[in-house]
Structure 1
Amino acid sequence: MHRLIRSLLVAVGLCVTSLCAAGLAAGSARAQIFHPTQFTLENGLQVVLIEDHRAPVVQHMIWYKVGAADEAPNVGGVAHYLEHLMFKGTPEIGPGDFSKIVAREGGRDNAFTTADYTAYHQLIASDRLPLVMKMEADRMTQLAPPADEAKRELQVVIEERLSRIDNNPGALFGEQFDAAQFLAHPYGRPVIGWPAVVRQLTLDDAMTFYRSYYAPNNAVLVVAGDVAPADLKRLAEKYYGLIPMRPIPPRSRVQEPPQLAARRLVMTDERVAEPSLRRSYLAPSRTAGRSEYATALSVLAEILNAPTGRLYKALVEGDGPAASASAWYSSLSLDQTTFGFGAVPKSGQSLDAVEQGLDAVLATLLKDGITDDELQQAKLVMKADTVYARDSLTGAAQLFGTAVCTGVSVEQVEAWPQQVAAVTAAQVLAAAQYVFDERRSVTGRLLPKHQS
């Protein structure tokens, strides 16, 4: 995802409110950045439109408020497996034909699954919007993958895991790291699932998940591009409005207990070319934990991770021990998230030196806070990012879908510049002191085999 969209994703909203079922005029009147329109159909489907009439193109996305963290442990990976099966046919559209039809009409389509949501999207000419809405509504209710197709697709998922995870030591390390960070919460399980569990998934498992969660009252329609609000409302009512709402199981997740001790792990692999360090701290999101710190943490991430920010100056520049160093924080998570760091040492330097350098950066931050210059520069960068964020149909649609599916309202997305502008240096320091507690940390090292 483009950096400016990532910046906006981590900077929206301060606290949780529900998405208002506002009328068209009311939705537009409060717009400040994207000028979104929002409404809710009688069956509970939430709709968000970001108009952009520069080209006759639309990005159409259906988001379901369910992801890998909502699975039962014995069917881990079923949300992602179902995502694959959604392309395997209905009584109206044959297996694999959905994407073929979109491509034939000059469009592109795909889907993705995360811990908190699953999304299906098509980028297509605006006069073909009724077609993709009709097909997406069809598979919302009429999914019927043949058993042989489902069996073959499970092998595709297994091969995907093999190529993306099992053959990638960095990805394997990431799984181990997440499992160390989240002892109880399902964020500690991989979205694609653990190998032994994935191999045992069945079509019945996927269809049970589908019938439980895929309903209009558990979905969000986000459209960005060349369509007027009244036209979108008419089309949404025509294609999605007749689908009946259904009872949805409550999102009942085991919450992470307080972390009382720092955790460390070391992984070695003969495929690793150079060692690396990773550190993360359990952190609040917009909707979980001490959410009042979320905006200040977003600003702090910009200060630390800027091209000439604190990490670069202390760890990389001049005689610093690291060849690269970065920080990351994403506040759009339904439950508690993490604030993380990563670094790779320069040739001849040790991971001990890199870790000591990172510790020194954090110690100085916790003692002295940030400067007014750092604060103002971070705000300027985050403000500039929003100027360009409007240019991406895909990025705009992804931003609003992610926000709404993690409990952040459209109004909060629009209001984030004011919230960032209001952040003070004292608030950033308070947020850092809360999050960067050694007891809440996990530190990991990924090493070549010969360094074990």
Structure 2
Amino acid sequence: MGSLRPFWGFVLVLWIVVAGGAAPLLAEDEIPTLFDPKVTTLDNGLEVVVLEDHRAPIVTHMVWYKVGAADENPLKSGIAHFLEHLMFKGTDKLAPGEFSAIVAKNGGQENAFTSQDYTAYFQNVSVDKLPLFMEMEADRMSNLALTDETVGPELNVILEERSQRTDNNPNALFGEQFDAAQFLAHPYGTPVIGWRHELEKLTTQDAIDWYNTYYAPNNAILIVAGDVKADEVFALAEKYYGPIPAREIPKRERVQEPPQLAKRVVEMKDKRVRQPSWRQSYLAPSARSEDQKNVRALEVLSQILGGGVTSRIYSDLVVDRKIATSAGAYYSSGSYDKSTFVVYGSPTPDHSLDDVEAAVQAIIKDVIENGVTEQELTRAKKRMLADAVYARDSIRGAANIFGSALASGETIEQIVNWPKHISDVTPEEIQKAAQQVFDERQSVVGRLLPEDAKS
């Protein structure tokens, strides 16, 4: 169980593309399709997606709720992640911990995670156990039983998790400060795990209210991937999830960002820091944007700038000039609202954060003024293709792609047609996208330093 930042940009690039590249790589009618999803919606609003894969007698069963940390009410940060933990604390039929014990007894694996935009639960099991786990997951969708006796100790677990993963980690603490500076008003500036002073005040009733408000079939997506037939899965879904009544779900309305007019600089010093680091984040569109060409161009650009040892930033700063020990870029397109495009680097001992920043900014300036080459474009698409061909062997990976994308507001069509959209990206579109996203006024510079370092 854990909390996640939106990660669809990473997952998308890694998993989904099965045909990419500049025009010479594949003709339009030769672009294969990795997924052939079968989709239905039950009368109670539950969307069911089946991804058939008959290579092994196993299945991944996932339920994604279209609610995450960014949907929390003021003063209640962390409740989405807290409820994720509490979903394992029993129902009217199962005692606390019994759900996990049954999964283990049947040789399955399970976990759950929370992001800003969704909360997901999954089991990897042999295909013959699918009805059992579907029955149990449907049970806790509608019959979760929470008491002070089970909630109180779990809150202590969450507080300890925050201590271990965030409060004792200067990089994590800095990340919270950095995100809060990037998002002036939007709740993406609040950490998924929550602020400690608000976590400490969460109650059993807060958890019950969250569950009763958002955990309903018409606010969920069921993804089943593996050695199954779609019609049989649809019948099982109707049997176990179908009787759960729909609820009125609040419309997803979040505070949106005001115009960002000033570059911000966040500097933090901590005695636990051994390696200084620099980053710069730019406000960027998400995959839900109407301008799909711009989003896809940014995805390819992130590969050109930061995709491995041959990328522009890494090869220049780390390999050729030896300014940095690590450097790169990434773009997380998979969020419901505005996302970010990030460049970063850590200097070698004989260089400074200023050296890293100047070198990265020179590369960005060159892309803005001169664009990228056809060779870079072709290499980036081939890299994305190679990663996906290797990664598509994971059944859970396929389920993750569809679940995270659909829960973040994308459509089946967008997911299925992603390979073609990537293959259509041109150098001109990439240059235009770079000119739009690399706006200093909508950026944050972050500097993380040892306590005794000079600024």
Fold-level similarity (TM above 0.5): yes
Q: Distance in 2 between matches of 1:181 and 1:127?
A: 47
Query: How much does 1:10 deviate?
Result: 8.6
Among all aligned residue pairs of Structure 1 and Structure 2, give the percentage whose two residues are the same amino acid.
54
Partner of 1:402: 404
More off after superposition, 62-71 vs 410-419: 410-419
Partner of 1:339: 341
Query: How much does 1:319 deviate?
Result: 2.5
Partner of 1:143: 144
How many residues align? The count is 435
Question: What amino acid maps onto 2:13 in structure 1?
Answer: S
Q: Distance in 1 between matches of 2:97 and 2:405?
A: 30
Q: Distance in 2 between matches of 1:72 and 1:148?
A: 25
Q: Distance in 1 between matches of 2:48 and 2:41?
A: 6
Q: Distance in 2 between matches of 1:11 and 1:401?
A: 16
Query: How much does 1:305 deviate?
Result: 1.1
Query: How much does 1:317 deviate?
Result: 1.6
More off after superposition, 285-294 vs 244-253: 285-294
SS at match of 2:123: strand
Do 1:278 and 1:343's aligned partners in 2 also have CA atoms closer than 8 Å? yes
SS at match of 1:73: coil
Do 1:102 and 1:108's aligned partners in 2 also have CA atoms closer than 8 Å? yes
Partner of 2:158: 157
Query: How much does 1:408 deviate?
Result: 1.2
Partner of 2:13: 7
- Show CA shifts across 1:244-303 (max 9, x none): 111000111000112111000100000001100011000001124755410000000010
Do 1:283 and 1:289's aligned partners in 2 also have CA atoms closer than 8 Å? no
| Matched ranges for 1:379-418 at <5 A | 379-418=381-420
SS at match of 1:317: helix
Question: What amino acid maps onto 2:197 in structure 1?
Answer: A
Query: Aligned-residue CA RMSD in angstroms?
Result: 1.8
Question: What amino acid maps onto 1:339 in structure 2?
Answer: F
Query: How much does 1:383 deviate?
Result: 2.4
Do 1:286 and 1:332's aligned partners in 2 also have CA atoms closer than 8 Å? yes
Query: How much does 1:8 deviate?
Result: 4.3
Partner of 2:71: 70
Partner of 1:217: 218
| Matched ranges for 1:261-300 at <5 A | 261-288=262-289, 290-300=291-301
| Matched ranges for 1:10-49 at <5 A | 32-49=33-50
How does the TM-score come out when normalised to structure 1? 0.93
Do 1:68 and 1:76's aligned partners in 2 also have CA atoms closer than 8 Å? yes
Query: How much does 1:6 deviate?
Result: 4.8
Partner of 2:376: 374
Query: How much does 1:332 deviate?
Result: 1.1
Unaligned runs of at least 5 residues, structure 2? 1-6, 19-30
Partner of 2:365: 363
Do 2:8 and 2:401's aligned partners in 1 also have CA atoms closer than 8 Å? no
Change (3 A) 1:286 1:2: closer
Query: How much does 1:331 deviate?
Result: 1.1
Q: Distance in 2 between matches of 1:314 and 1:368?
A: 17
Question: What amino acid maps onto 1:344 in structure 2?
Answer: S
How does the TM-score come out when normalised to structure 2? 0.93
Structure 1 runs of 4+ aligned residues shifted over 2 Å read 1-6, 8-12, 288-292, 383-390
| Matched ranges for 1:53-452 at <5 A | 53-288=54-289, 290-306=291-307, 307-452=309-454
Do 1:49 and 1:229's aligned partners in 2 also have CA atoms closer than 8 Å? yes
Q: Distance in 2 between matches of 1:437 and 1:289?
A: 20
Unaligned runs of at least 5 residues, structure 1? 13-29
More off after superposition, 33-42 vs 147-156: 33-42
Question: What amino acid maps onto 2:215 in structure 1?
Answer: Y
Query: How much does 1:51 deviate?
Result: 1.0
